[in-house]
Amino acid sequence: MIIKEAELAAVAVNPEQYPDTNKKEIAIAGRSNVGKSSLINMLLNRKGLARVSGSPGKTRTINFYDVNKDFRIVDLPGYGFAKVSRSTIDNWGKMIDNYLSNRPNLVKMIQLVDVRHPPTAQDIQMYEWMRYYGLDGLVVATKADKVSKAELARNLNVIRMALGLGERDKIIPVSALKRTGYEELLKALDEILKEG
C-alpha cells in the first residue's frame, strides 16, 4: 500500500458526530503522551495532520482520518493522564465504550505502549477490552529511538508477556522521530484491510 491521500474526516465526542460506516476503521489506543498522534502523522506522511503536543491529554476527542478515500485511521483520546478530574475520566470511558461497542466497521485496534516501560495496569486493561471485542493482535511499541538494541529486545519481551500476546500477535517497534518501523506497520495494515 502507498498512502497517497489523508484528510481529517470528523472530530467526534458523541456517536452522532461519527462519519458514516462505509469505510473500514483501524483505531489507535494508548496512554496519553505515548505517541498516538505522532504515529498517525508518520503513517500518513503529514506532519501537522494530527496534533502533537508536549502536554499530555491533548487529544480529547475521537479524530477520524480518511486514507486514500478507502479506509480510516481513528485517533482515540489517551488515558492515564494524571492531572484531570474524575468527570473527565468518566467522559473518556463513555466515549471509548460508545465507540467500541457501536462501530460495525471497526476492524482492528492498535495498542500503543511506550517501549521504555512495562505496560501500565491501564494498558493491560485497554488490551483486555480489545480482546473482548475481538480487535486485539497488533501492538506498536513507540519511541524505539530512546532505547538501545539490547534494551529493545528485552523490553519487547516484557511487553509481550504483560499483555499476554500469543505467537500470532504482532508487536512492532516504531520510532516516529527516526521513521523506523514504518514499512512493517504498513504491511500489517495491508493484511488487516485484506482480511478484515
Ligand X SMILES: Nc1nc2c(ncn2[C@@H]2O[C@H](COP(=O)(O)OP(=O)(O)OP(=O)(O)O)[C@@H](O)[C@H]2O)c(=O)[nH]1
Which amino acid is it at 64?
F
Q: Which does 109 bind (CB under 5 to 8 A by kind): ligand X, Mg ion, none?
A: none
Say which entry of ligand X, Mg ion, none residue 142 contacts (CB below 5 to 8 A, set by partner kind): ligand X
What span, in angstroms and rounded, lies between the C-alpha atoms of 174 and 117? 15
Q: Which is nearer to Mg ion, 37 or 175 (CB)?
A: 37
Nearest distance in Å: CB 83, ligand X: 12
- The site for ligand X (CB under 6 A) is made up of 30, 32-38, 52-54, 56-59, 78, 142-143, 145-146, 175-177
> Rounded to the nearest whole angstrom, what is the least distance from the CB of residue 166 to Mg ion in the complex?
29
- Considering the complex, state which of residue 35 and residue 137 has its C-beta at the smaller distance from ligand X: 35
Helices (H), 7-148: 36-44, 86-101, 121-132
For residues 120 and 38, give the distance between their C-alpha atoms in angstroms, rounded to a whole number: 20
CB of 35 to Mg ion, least distance (A): 8
Q: 54 or 104, CB closer to ligand X?
A: 54
Please name which of 132, 89, 91, 126 lies closest in space to residue 110, comparing C-alpha atoms: 126
Inter-residue contact 123 to 86 (CB < 8 Å): no
Chain contacts with Mg ion (rule: CB under 5 A): 36-37, 59
Burial per residue of 107-135, b for 16 or more beta-carbon CB atoms within 10 angstroms, e otherwise: bbbbbbbbbeeebbeebbebbebbeeeeb
Kindly state the smallest distance separating residue 57's Cβ from Mg ion, in Å. 9
- Among Mg ion, ligand X, none, partner that 56 touches (CB below 5 to 8 angstroms by kind): ligand X
